[in-house]
Amino acid sequence: MTAETDDAAGTGSAAVPAPVVVDAGAIVEAEHRLEQAAPGYLDKVRAAAAALAVDGRRGAGVVAEVAAVREAAALDLEAPTASASTGGMLLKEGVKRLTGWYLRYLTIQVASFANAVAAMSEALLARLDELDAADTRLGSHVADGQRRLEDLEARLAEIERRLPDLDARLGPSGGARGPRVGGAGEAAPPLQP
């Protein structure tokens, strides 16, 4: 007998049953109904579960680090006191009880500090988000302004292109009230700056 998989209790586990596949159509229909009943809730549920998964899908970059600070702020005071000997256990328990009040005093402050750091980070993140949004709006305004400026320049260029025709049409009747702009065939004088 070498490395045989002997099933000493005979539980009939030679083959594992294939997992059940829940009806995909039913899932889609259920997702649609849930989205109608509670928009966004399913995404929230999935995100919450993903955040606690083993691959640490807490989010990317700064958001994940802030979450890690909050998690680390949960300090555990219940140090194990088990020991191979009764004396050892009693000693550990005694030390734990004697220092518990002091450790608790320190721990509350450390946890408060960590939570304050996390809160500050979240506030900075929120401010960064605001600045990003403002930057996006400004960028939109700038682009809009740019487009309007280009439009105005194009219209100005069109006006300048048409001025000679205008001068020609106005002719001598328009000339008494202003500088002579020349008759037909004469080039119009340049516009004054």
Partner 1 sequence: MRIDQLLPVLGVHDAIGAHVLQTRRALRAAGYESDLYADVVDESLAAEVRPWLDGPGRISTGRAVLYHASTHAPFTPWLEHRGRLGERILVYYHNVTPAEYFDRWLPPAAEEMRLARQELAALAPVSGIGLAASELNERELVDLGYRPTVTAPLLVDLERYHDEADGPTLGRLRRRRERGGAEWLFVGRIAPNKCQHDIVAAFAAYRRLVDPKAHLTLVGGVTAPRYLLALRDMVDALAVEEAVDIRSGLSHPELLAHYAAADVFVCLSEHEGFCVPLLEAMEVGVPVVAFAAAAVPGTVGDAAVLLGEKDPLTVAAAVAGLLDDDYRRRALIDSGRRRARCFDLASTTAGFLGAVQRFAFGSDGGSDGSDGSDGLASPASPAGVASGRPPCTAGCPGPG
**Minimum distance of partner 1 from residue 125's CB (angstroms):** 18
Token output for 10: 């005979």
The residue type found at 184 is A
Which segment (5-13, 147-155, 160-168, 175-183) binds partner 1 by CB under 8 A? 5-13
CA distance 76 to 68: 15
Query: Which of residues 100 and 164 has its CB atom nearest to partner 1 in the complex?
Result: 100
Query: Which of residues 19 and 178 has its CB atom nearest to partner 1 in the complex?
Result: 19
**Which residue, among 91, 73, 92, has the nearest Cα to 81 in the 3D structure?**
92
How many residues touch partner 1 under the rule CB under 8 A: the total is: 53
Query: Which of residues 42 and 163 has its CB atom nearest to partner 1 in the complex?
Result: 42
Query: Which of residues 7 and 165 has its CB atom nearest to partner 1 in the complex?
Result: 7
Report yes or no: 93 and 78 within 8 Å, Cβ to Cβ: no
Token output for 67: 């979450």
Task: Return the residue of 39, 60, 78, 190 that touches partner 1, per CB under 8 A.
Answer: 78
The DSSP 8-state label assigned to residue 98 in this structure reads H
Query: Which of residues 2 and 173 has its CB atom nearest to partner 1 in the complex?
Result: 2
- Is 184 a binder of partner 1 (CB under 8 A)? no
- Is 4 a binder of partner 1 (CB under 8 A)? yes
Element of type H or E holding 107: helix 86-170
CA distance 95 to 84: 17
- Is 60 a binder of partner 1 (CB under 8 A)? no
**Minimum distance of partner 1 from residue 39's CB (angstroms):** 11
- Is 7 a binder of partner 1 (CB under 8 A)? yes
Report yes or no: 171 and 185 within 8 Å, Cβ to Cβ: no
125 Cβ contact list (under 8 Å, min separation 6): 62, 63, 66
Token output for 3: 């490395």
Task: Return the residue of 20, 60, 184, 191 that touches partner 1, per CB under 8 A.
Answer: 20
| Chain residues in the site for partner 1 (CB under 8 A) | 1-23, 26-27, 30-31, 33-34, 37-38, 41-42, 44-46, 48-49, 51-54, 56, 71, 74, 76, 78, 82-86, 89
